[in-house]
A = this chain, B = another copy of it.
Amino acid sequence: MLRSCAARLRTLGSRRTRVPPPGGGPRGARRSFASEEVIDKDHALPNPSWSTDLRFLFDQFMKKCEEGSWKRLPSYKRNSTQKFQDFKTHYVDPKLLKEEQMPGAQLFTRSFEDGLGFEYVMFCNDVENRVVCFFQGGPHLQGMPGFTHGGAIAAIIDATVGTCAFRARGIVMTANLNINYKRPIPLRSVVVINSQLDKVEGRKVFVSCDVRSVKEETLYSEATGLFITLDPNKKLT
């Protein structure tokens, strides 16, 4: 059985890595340690930029976590989770790894300063094959004046349905993303992305979602995603 979400939260708020300090010596080690602290911060936790709405939804689902049916998903700037380690080991041509290890590579949806870009937290329910994402778009995600960019909405939808597919079937890549934009999303407002696994056909994983206002009365977008589970015998190049 999983530990309760609250217990996980206490241990997952920060991560320890075993990466050796790049600079060497005590001074380099100190700099490296400081850097790791920032890199390994779990960003799927409240920060001062979160609105009352986002905080409310977070608290509501943290209670569901304590009941055991839902689980909060931590989220980091660096792709150093087991999922990404497995991807690098089994699915990608080693010649690409050097490229990936360049300084500064960060997960797109976590590459903004707190409050400026994608503020979000995802919760999963692995029994019901669902992932819920609470998302607040910051001022650096603007499209037309006053509204969130359609590309930023596509990005957080891709992240959510991709996570839903991953929870069900392991490492996948997006094959198709089809988004209907019903209404523009005002910048800085909070939306709820509700995704669920629809079906699995061989290596194809079908997921869908809708994007609604906090009280669910406004439908902003609907989307479907098709994901393909990767074949370790066919390395990505």
| Interface residues in chain A, defined as those with a beta carbon under 8 Å from any beta carbon in chain B | 79, 84, 87-88, 92, 96-97, 99-100, 102-109, 111-112, 116-117, 139-147, 149-152, 154-159, 162, 171, 173-181, 184, 186-188, 236
Count of this chain's copies in the oligomeric assembly:
2
Which DSSP category, helix, strand, loop or mixed, fits chain A's interface? mixed
> Does B143 lie within 8 Å of A107, measured CB to CB?
yes
Known: A159-B151, A187-B99. A176 touches B175 (CB 8 A): no
Known: A146-B92, A147-B236, A154-B155. A175 touches B181 (CB 8 A): yes
A109 and B186 alpha carbons, distance in the complex (Å) = 17
Listed residue (A97, A174, A236) with the most chain B CB atoms within 10 angstroms of its CB:
A174
Given contacts A99-B146, A99-B188, A107-B142, 7 further A-B contacts (CB under 8 A): A79-B144, A88-B145, A96-B186, A108-B141, A150-B158, A152-B155, A177-B178
Residues of B within 8 A of A96 (CB): 146-147, 186
5 contacts between A and B (CB under 8 A): A87-B145, A92-B146, A99-B186, A105-B139, A108-B142
> Does A145 lie within 8 Å of B104, measured CB to CB?
no
Q: Among B100, B147, B149, which residue has its beta carbon within 8 angstroms of that of A146?
A: B100
